[in-house]
Amino acid sequence: MNIICDTTSPLRLDLFLNQKLNISRSQALNLVKKQLVKINYKIAVKSGILVKPNDIITLSRIIPNECVESKSDIFIQRIYEDNDILVINKPPHLATHGAPSLKEESLVDWLRANKIQLSNISGEKREGIVHRLDKQTSGAMVIAKNNISHMYLSKQLQNHTMGRLYIALIDLPLKDNMEIECNLSRNPKNRLKISKTNRLNGRYSKSNFFKLLLSKDSKKEMILAKLSTGRTHQIRAHLESFNRHILGDSLYGYKGEKMRIMLHSYILHLEHPNLGKMSFVADMFDDMRDYLQNNFDMERVNEILENLSNNKLSFSI
C-alpha cells in the first residue's frame, strides 16, 4: 500500500504514520523496526526520519494485527474522516456488505466492529453504504456516517456529480480514447454477468476510457476509466462489449494468468455536506503495483499517477 505525503512541510515519519493510519507513535515505531515501511521504495531505518511533500511512503504488506489497534482481522486505511463521512481505501478480496453465501467478514462488519457511526437508511445489512465496489476491486469508497450525509451523497450519485476515476490493466490496448454509452442488464445466459442490451428494461450507462501507458511488450495497457453512471460491473461489461478485458477478470472473458481483477478506484471527487468540493486519492495495493513494476515502465507509471493526482493531464476528464 502506498501513501503520497501531502504535508506542506517535512514531518517525522512516526508522526506521519500516526496521523495517516490512526495508530500510536509506538505502533509506528514497531512498523519501522519490522522493516515494513519504505520511503520512495527504500526501507526506512529510523522512525524519526523526515518525510517531505510528495514522498511515496510504502507499507510493504498488510500491517499485522499486533501493529495496529483494531477490533477486526481486517486492516483498512482511513483516507479521511469527520463527523459526516469516512473515506477509505478498500482492499481487494473484501466484499462491501454481507450475503447469504458470504462466510468471511465484509466491509460493513469491519465498520461495525470498529464502532463507526453509520447511516441506517439502507437497512441493517448495508449501514453506511452509499455506493459499492466489487469484491476484488480495490480503492476509494465513501461511507455515510449519518442519514443526512447519506441522502446528500446519494443525490450526487443520481445526478452524476460524484466523480470516480479508476485505473485498470487490460489485455489488449485501446485503439484510441473512447466513450461507451449503452443500456446494461443481467445476461440471460449467465446471471452472474451484466451485458450490453437493446432491451427497454436495461439501465442507461456511460463510461469514458483513456489510454495511459503500454506494457513493456506492448500487449497490455494501463488505462483510466471515468464513470458517469454507477451500474453493477459497469467498467467490466463496457470493456467486454468491444473485446477488452481487465487482467484477472475471467468472468468477463480474460484468459490469461490467474490473479485478482486489476481494477482500482484511484480518485474520488464529491461534494461534502458541509465543506464543499473535495477530492481523495487511494494508493494502489502491492499486488497491482508489483504487476506494474514487473511489466511496465515504473518511472512512467509514477509520473502518470502523480499527474492524475494533481489533475495535470493532456486530455480532459
Q: Lowest-confidence range among 98-107, 108-117, 223-232, 245-254?
A: 98-107
Q: Is the pLDDT of residue 87 over 90?
A: yes
- The domain in which residue 223 lies consists of 161-309
Bridge pairing between strands 138-144 and 263-272? parallel
Higher pLDDT, 22 or 132: 132
CA distance 229 to 160: 6
pLDDT band for position 35 (cuts 50, 70, 90):
confident
pLDDT band for position 74 (cuts 50, 70, 90):
confident
Give domain status of residue 208, yes or no. Answer: yes
Give domain status of residue 174, yes or no. Answer: yes
Give domain status of residue 106, yes or no. Answer: no
Residues 190 and 50 in one domain: no
Q: Is the pLDDT of residue 231 over 60?
A: yes
57: domain CATH number?
A: 3.10.290.10
Give domain status of residue 234, yes or no. Answer: yes
Q: Is the pLDDT of residue 287 over 60?
A: yes
Residues 176 and 296 in one domain: yes
Could you tell me which residues are beta bridge partners of residue 12? 50
Q: Per the structure, how many domains does the chain have?
A: 2
- Total-model pTM: 0.76
The domain boundary, picked from 35, 54, 69, lies at 69
* pLDDT value for 64: 40
Q: Taking all residues of the chain, what is their mean pLDDT, rounded to a whole number?
A: 86
Q: Is the pLDDT of residue 9 over 70?
A: yes
CA distance 11 to 39: 13
The residues carrying an active-site annotation are 134
Residues 44 and 176 in one domain: no
Give the cell for residue 121. 437508511
Q: Is the pLDDT of residue 71 over 60?
A: no
Contact between 44 and 77 (Cβ < 8 Å): no
CA distance 168 to 292: 11
pLDDT band for position 72 (cuts 50, 70, 90):
low
Contact between 3 and 20 (Cβ < 8 Å): yes
The domain boundary, picked from 27, 45, 69, lies at 69
Give domain status of residue 182, yes or no. Answer: yes
* pLDDT value for 103: 65
Residues sharing a CB contact under 8 Å with residue 211, sequence separation 6 or more, in sequence order:
173, 174, 176, 177, 221, 223
Residues 170 and 275 in one domain: yes
Read off the pLDDT of each residue in 149-166 and give the average, rounded to a whole number.
90
Higher pLDDT, 28 or 281: 281
Residues 180 and 60 in one domain: no
Give domain status of residue 121, yes or no. Answer: no
Give domain status of residue 196, yes or no. Answer: yes
Give the cell for residue 231. 451500474
pLDDT band for position 40 (cuts 50, 70, 90):
confident
Q: Lowest-confidence range among 18-27, 170-179, 182-191?
A: 18-27
Residues 170 and 291 in one domain: yes
Give domain status of residue 165, yes or no. Answer: yes
Q: Is the pLDDT of residue 167 over 60?
A: yes
The domain boundary, picked from 69, 88, 112, lies at 69
167: domain CATH number?
A: 3.30.2350.10
* pLDDT value for 36: 78
Residues 63 and 167 in one domain: no
223 phi/psi in degrees, rounded to 5: -125, 165
